[in-house]
């Protein structure tokens, strides 16, 4: 079946406010008359079970960042970077493990403040590391406020923040010290990772009891854009088991698991798939994602950007449409994909949303024998 591509500004198409994930920015987007809800369609995409169109994060998701679930700071600490805070100059903050960070305006994110080192010796982690008391942060109060605006037709998504190695690195003072700890004191690191996995699971359980979660994103950066920080052997001996335990627990609660890992983590992609993560959120410019789709697409899915347009400021409608179709053709087979979309020119955003919806519906009609 051929689906319509309404002209920009067509008054017959209702417009709604859609929020760019982890920002206060809202954009006017067209609302299509879909046969099922965005939430149900996303669940089908995650399960690779006959989705009707390719979901996108802008119109189909309601997302909370790691810091967005607290009602107040505690003793000057906050959970994570506050992406909702407007900033025109760099500033420092403490996260809820009392490590000091610097928000860097030019990067749009935070880095560990140079000189910060709470844990000089990983063997002392049990004496030094103070795990947050979840009762102090007003989680219930914040959830009560948020649920007044909850849309049951959209995907409820929470980004839980720093994972095992990221937390180790933040406590030990940076990647050099963190990787040395893993190399020199593997038993102590493994013990810390298991304890931190307990904390992640307890945090997830608390959030999942307050919000009807559909997907959890878990961050653990495992490499630079050239290669991974550590070998498969170190991964298997220290990181694999506690990470698998987190994934198993989240999925046991019927919540989709998305693994975020920056860098060229190609060597770890099969592990992510085998652990059962429904989606990988990985760096396209560092990883050959189309190849991973071909090799692992029967086990896992991918968050995709529009192929070939990274860093392109201006593009014709013809090129935009061709790129959307190419991306759908690469990643959509059998489901297991959603698009990450943000702002941009209103007319091109309209074209992106209408073409993605219409073309991916046509794609799945053909694949599922409805054409």
- Euclidean distance between CA atoms 181 and 54, whole angstroms: 42
pLDDT on residue 81: 96
**30-51 residue pLDDT tens:** 999 999 999 999 999 999 999 9
Q: Give the single-character DSSP code of 136.
A: G
Residue 311 has pLDDT above 70, yes or no: no
- Per-chain mean pLDDT for the chain: 96
Per-residue pLDDT at 1: 86
Mean of the pLDDT values across residues 112-132? Answer: 97
Q: Please, which pLDDT band fits residue 24 given cuts at 50, 70 and 90?
A: confident
End-to-end CA distance of the chain: 5
pLDDT band at 312 (very low <50, low <70, confident <90, very high): low
* DSSP-assigned letters across all residues of 287-332: S-HHHHHHHHTTT-EEEEPPTT-TT-----HHHHHHHHHHHHHHH-
What is the helix (H) or strand (E) element at residue 77, kind and residue range?
Answer: strand 77-78
Give residue 371's pLDDT.
74
Q: Where does the pLDDT of residue 136 fall: very low under 50, low under 70, confident under 90, or very high at 90 and above?
A: very high
- The region of weakest confidence among 85-89, 183-187, 233-237, 256-260 is 85-89
29: three-class secondary structure by DSSP: strand
How confident is the model over 317-339, as a mean pLDDT? 97
Is 303 a residue whose pLDDT tops 80?
A: yes
pLDDT score recorded for residue 23:
87
By residue count, the chain amounts to 371
Q: Greatest CA span in the chain, whole angstroms?
A: 65
Class of domain 15-367: alpha beta
> 283: how many CB neighbours lie within 10 A of its CB?
16
In tens, the pLDDT along 218-264 reads: 999 999 999 999 999 999 999 999 999 999 999 999 999 999 999 99
Report the predicted TM-score, pTM, of the whole model to 2 decimal places.
Answer: 0.96
**pLDDT exceeds cutoff 70 at 338:** yes
Residues 44 and 50: beta-carbon distance below 8 Å: yes
Looking at the predicted structure, is the pLDDT value of residue 313 above 70? no
Distances (CA, A) of 106 to 65, 66, 109, 175, 359: 20, 21, 8, 21, 36
């Amino acid at each position: 079946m051929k689906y319509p591509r309404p002209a920009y500004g067509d008054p017959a198409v209702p417009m709604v406010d859609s929020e760019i994930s982890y920002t206060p920015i809202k954009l006017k987007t067209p609302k299509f008359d879909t046969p099922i809800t965005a939430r149900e369609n996303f669940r089908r995409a995650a399960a690779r079970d006959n989705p009707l169109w390719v979901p996108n994060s802008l119109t189909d998701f309601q997302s909370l960042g790691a810091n967005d679930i607290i009602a107040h700071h505690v003793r000057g600490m906050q959970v994570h970077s506050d992406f909702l805070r407007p900033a025109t100059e760099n500033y420092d903050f403490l996260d809820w493990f009392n490590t000091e960070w610097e928000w860097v305006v030019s990067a749009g994110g935070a880095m560990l403040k140079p000189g910060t080192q709470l844990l000089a010796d990983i063997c002392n982690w049990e004496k030094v590391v103070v795990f947050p008391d979840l009762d102090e942060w007003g989680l219930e109060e914040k959830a009560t406020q948020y649920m007044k605006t909850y849309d049951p037709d959209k995907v409820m998504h929470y980004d839980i923040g720093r994972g095992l190695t990221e937390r180790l690195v933040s406590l030990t003072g940076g990647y050099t010290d963190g990787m040395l700890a893993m190399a020199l004191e593997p038993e102590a690191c493994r013990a810390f990772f298991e304890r931190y996995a307990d904390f992640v699971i307890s945090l997830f359980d608390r959030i999942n009891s307050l919000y009807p979660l559909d997907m959890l994103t878990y961050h653990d950066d495992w490499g630079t854009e050239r290669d991974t920080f550590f070998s498969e052997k170190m991964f298997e001996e220290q990181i694999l088991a506690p990470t698998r335990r987190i994934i198993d627990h989240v999925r046991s609660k019927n919540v989709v698991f998305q693994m975020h890992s920056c860098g060229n983590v190609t060597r770890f992609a099969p592990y992510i798939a085998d652990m059962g993560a429904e989606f990988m959120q990985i760096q396209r410019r560092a990883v050959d994602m189309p190849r991973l789709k071909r090799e692992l697409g029967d086990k896992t899915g991918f968050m995709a950007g529009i192929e070939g347009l990274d860093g392109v400021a201006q593009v014709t409608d013809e090129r935009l449409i061709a790129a959307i179709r190419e991306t759908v053709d690469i990643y959509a087979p059998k489901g297991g994909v959603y698009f990450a979309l943000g702002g941009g020119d209103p007319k091109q955003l309209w074209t992106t949303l209408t073409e993605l919806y219409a073309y991916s519906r046509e794609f799945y009609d053909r694949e599922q024998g409805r054409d």
